[in-house]
């Protein structure tokens, strides 16, 4: 069989055969072997960067270390300096994979991975998607993602889509007319799986619900749907399962790292323990017990071109009590650390609290398609929403009462109905933003 996807990576200098073989070996480790592997890789990657990376040496202020917990926690602001100042000896833009983070945290930066590390990222993707019978060489993907609007960038992305055996739906306009065209493509093409941004895929499911259509009834080749980059709420997952008629898989990753967690067929959000070491830390950079919320801090065990050691990704999460070093389970992803609302009483609430409360009320009849919440003053919030019919006073009163109950009273809200919501240049929807 001609494996175009593997071949395109191999031609670009990514050692896929070696990476797949190494990943198979890691996955086969016993629990004891895995513990030894993780400790060795942690030591190896830190020593490498202390010897070969001036940026990391400056950050740590040392060339040797004895205690893992004494290593500094790296944040995104540390990385907002020219890439050339952060690369290890013998690495350059010529022999690395270079990309830019999406900036959904508000702190975008350019990063590098050495080619073997990036090959392992792909091996890790291939392995996990394989849990659901998906093969990147042969399975046809329906892709709900942004796309560059400039001519050259657009054509490059379309060519990558061709090599990766996928058909891309641009998500910058998801009006009913466009969704109707997307539906036609599902009627005419033999898609194996869906992959893309949560909010866009949920919008498509709501469109199908309105038309009373189950997607795999008109596209029977469809096996599974993977959603990524934005929060997947339980009620949205139920809606997707119902309207698509296939399993819905929740994916959590970061372009500068790898897939961080991927829902396994047992419905656990399994953390990647093969290429990453994931810690959950408190505000004093101490590890919390499983079952407790904390900052998600990640070490890339293989990236020699650029250090991602104890890297605070900017998210808050909880590891399940049943987690082990070899099989950590992400119990809950709460949201980003910068998505916190500070209220007049001094109380701090994750922005998603508003989202949960508001969502549970205004979604009853399916009228409201999407909404975002913005905090403009300590007591003032703006809700922008897209709907068929404007919210009435009774609905607004109900929302305000629920927020007073769950958060605190006397908060001021304004509601603005829009034709569409502002997305990032990659098409992501930021669901809560604090301006204070």
pLDDT at 360 (0 to 100): 65
Q: Residues 401, 391: contact at Cβ < 8 Å? A: no
Q: Are residues 248 and 349 in the same domain?
A: no
Q: Which residues neighbour 63 within 8 Å (Cβ) at sequence distance 6 or greater?
A: 50, 51, 57
Q: What is the CATH number of the domain that holds 27?
A: 3.40.50.12780
Contact 138, 164 (CB under 8 A): no
215 and 181 in a single domain? The answer is: yes
355 and 319 in one domain?
no
Please tell me whether residues 193 and 211 are part of one structural domain.
yes
- The values of phi and psi at residue 143, to 5°, are -110, 120
Neighbours of 75 (CB within 10 A): 17
Cβ within 8 Å of residue 419, ≥6 positions away: 386
Q: Strand 412-417 and strand 380-387: pairing?
A: parallel
Same domain for 212 and 306, yes or no, is yes
Note whether 315 and 355 are same-domain residues. no
Q: Give yes or no: residues 158 and 277 share one domain.
A: yes
Task: Report the predicted TM-score, pTM, of the whole model to 2 decimal places.
Answer: 0.82
**Can you tell me the distance from the alpha carbon of 156 to that of 341, in angstroms, rounded to the nearest whole number?**
40
Q: Are residues 250 and 310 in the same domain?
A: yes
- pLDDT score of 232: 86
Question: Which of 158, 116, 126, 146 is closest to 19 using CA atoms?
Answer: 116
Give yes or no: residues 254 and 366 share one domain: no
Number of domains in the chain: 2
For residue 89 the two structure tokens come to: 């000896």
If 0-12 CB within 10 Å is exposed, 13-18 middle and 19+ buried, where does residue 330 land?
A: buried
- CATH at 399: 3.30.300.30
Please write down the HEC assignment for all residues of 197-232: EHHHHHHHHHHHHHHCCCHHHHCCCCCEEEEECCCC
Show the tokens assigned to 323.
């987690």
- Of 279, 310, 336, the residue that ends a domain is 336
In terms of C-beta density within 10 A (0-12 exposed, 13-18 middle, 19 or more buried), how is residue 222 classed? Answer: buried
In this structure, are 191 and 248 located in the same domain? Answer: yes
Distance, CA of 46 to CA of 68 (rounded, Å) = 9
pLDDT given at position 1: 44
For β-strands 269-271 and 276-281, DSSP reports them as unpaired
The answer to whether the beta carbons of residues 262 and 252 sit under 8 Å apart is: yes
Decide which of 287, 318, 336 is a domain's last residue. Answer: 336
CB-neighbour burial class of residue 346 (10 A; exposed 0-12, middle 13-18, buried 19+): exposed
- 332 and 345 co-located in one domain: no
Q: Indicate if 173 and 263 belong to the same structural domain.
A: yes
Q: Which domain holds residue 360?
A: 340-434
The one-digit pLDDT tens for each residue of the chain (436 residues) are 457 777 778 778 889 999 999 999 999 999 999 999 999 999 999 999 999 999 999 999 988 888 999 999 998 888 878 899 999 999 998 899 998 875 555 566 789 999 999 999 999 999 999 999 999 989 999 999 877 767 887 888 888 888 888 999 977 777 888 899 999 999 999 999 999 988 889 989 999 999 999 999 999 999 999 998 777 888 899 999 999 999 999 999 988 999 999 999 999 999 999 999 999 999 999 999 999 999 999 999 999 999 999 999 988 999 999 999 999 999 998 876 556 688 898 877 767 677 667 766 766 556 787 888 899 999 999 999 988 889 999 888 888 888 888 788 999 999 999 988 887 666 667 778 888 8
16: which 2 tokens? 């896929």
Write b or e for each residue in 9-27: b if 16 or more Cβ atoms lie within 10 A of its Cβ, otherwise e.
Answer: beeeebbbeebbebbeebe
DSSP string, 319-342: E-TT--SSS-BEEEEEEETT-EEE
pLDDT for res 104 = 53
Q: Are 334 and 317 in contact (CB under 8 A)?
A: yes
What order do you get walking across the sheet with 412-417 strand by strand? 412-417, 380-387, 368-377, 432-434
What does the block give as tokens for 130? 């394989």
Residue carrying the six token digits 């997952």 = 237
Among 336, 353, 369, the domain-final residue is 336
Are β-strands 258-263 and 248-254 bridged in parallel, bridged antiparallel, or unpaired? antiparallel
Mind listing the pLDDT tens digit for each residue in 231-247? 788 889 999 999 999 99
């Amino acid at each position: 069989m001609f494996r175009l996807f593997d071949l395109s990576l191999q031609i670009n200098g990514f050692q896929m055969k070696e990476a797949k073989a190494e990943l198979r070996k890691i996955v086969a480790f016993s629990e004891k072997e895995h513990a030894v592997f993780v400790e060795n890789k942690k030591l190896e990657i830190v020593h490498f960067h202390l010897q070969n990376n001036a940026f990391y040496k400056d950050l740590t202020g040392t060339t040797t270390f004895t205690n893992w917990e004494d290593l500094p926690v790296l944040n995104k602001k540390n990385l907002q300096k020219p890439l050339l100042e952060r690369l290890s000896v013998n690495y350059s833009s010529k022999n690395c994979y270079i990309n830019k983070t999406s900036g959904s945290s508000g702190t975008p930066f350019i990063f590098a991975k050495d080619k073997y590390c990036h090959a392992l990222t792909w091996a890790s993707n291939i392995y996990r998607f394989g849990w659901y019978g998906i093969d990147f060489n042969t399975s046809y993907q329906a892709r709900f993602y942004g796309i560059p609007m400039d001519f050259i960038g657009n054509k490059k992305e379309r060519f990558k889509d061709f090599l990766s055996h996928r058909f891309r739906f641009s998500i910058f306009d998801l009006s009913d007319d466009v969704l109707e065209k997307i539906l036609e493509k599902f009627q005419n093409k033999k898609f194996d799986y869906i992959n893309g941004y949560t909010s866009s895929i949920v919008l498509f499911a709501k469109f199908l619900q309105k038309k009373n259509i189950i997607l795999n009834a008109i596209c029977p080749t469809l096996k599974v749907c993977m959603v990524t980059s934005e929060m997947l709420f339980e009620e949205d997952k139920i809606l997707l399962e119902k309207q698509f008629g296939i399993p819905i898989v929740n994916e959590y990753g970061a372009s500068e790292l790898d897939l961080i967690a991927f829902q396994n067929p047992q419905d656990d959000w399994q953390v990647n323990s093969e290429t990453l070491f994931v810690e959950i830390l408190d505000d004093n950079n101490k590890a919390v017990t499983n079952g407790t919320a904390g900052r998600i801090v990640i070490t890339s065990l293989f990236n020699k071109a650029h250090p991602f050691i104890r890297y605070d990704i900017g998210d808050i999460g909880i590891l399940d009590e049943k987690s082990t070093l070899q099989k950590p389970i992400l119990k809950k992803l709460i949201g980003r650390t910068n998505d916190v609302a500070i209220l007049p009483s001094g109380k701090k609430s994750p922005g998603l609290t508003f989202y949960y409360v508001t969502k549970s009320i205004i979604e009853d009849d399916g009228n409201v398609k999407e909404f975002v919440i913005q905090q403009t003053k300590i007591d003032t919030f703006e809700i922008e929403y897209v709907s068929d019919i404007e919210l009435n006073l009774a609905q607004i009163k109900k929302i305000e009462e629920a927020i007073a109950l769950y958060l605190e009273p006397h908060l001021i809200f304004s509601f603005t109905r829009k034709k569409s919501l502002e997305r990032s240049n990659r098409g992501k929807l930021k669901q809560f933003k604090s301006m204070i």
